[in-house]
Amino acid sequence: MTTAPDSGKPEKPGLLQVVNSVLAAAFGVQSQKNRARDFQAGSAKVYIAVGVVATVVFVLTVYGIVKLVLASAS
């Protein structure tokens, strides 16, 4: 784990790392190393926001696919 240059605190994860962690957690395959990084340096608000956005995108994608399939079946 990397640390911030001026302190002994771990570096905050970047947006891509947060998205990766949320997706891995959604599938249940989060590594111990990433989980530890998330709990030590991450802000819960960021993970919750990314999780909500990912859920909305997933639901809208499923909705769109269902509408497309139903329209082609008619």
Domain ranges of the chain: 15-73
pLDDT at 5 over 70: no
Q: Quickly tell me which residue has 């999780």 as its tokens.
A: 51
Query: Sign of the CA dihedral 43, 45, 51, 57?
Result: negative
User: What is the average per-residue pLDDT within 12-19?
Assistant: 91
List, for residues 51-63, the tens digit of each pLDDT value: 999 999 999 999 9
Q: Rounded to two decimals, what is the model's pTM?
A: 0.75
> Long-range contacts made by residues 53-56, C-beta under 8 angstroms, separation at least 24?
54/19, 54/22, 54/23, 54/26
pLDDT at 1 over 70: no
> CB of 21 within 8 A of CB of 49?
no
Cβ-count burial of 38 within 10 angstroms (0-12 exposed, 13-18 middle, 19+ buried)? buried
User: What is the average per-residue pLDDT within 8-28?
Assistant: 87
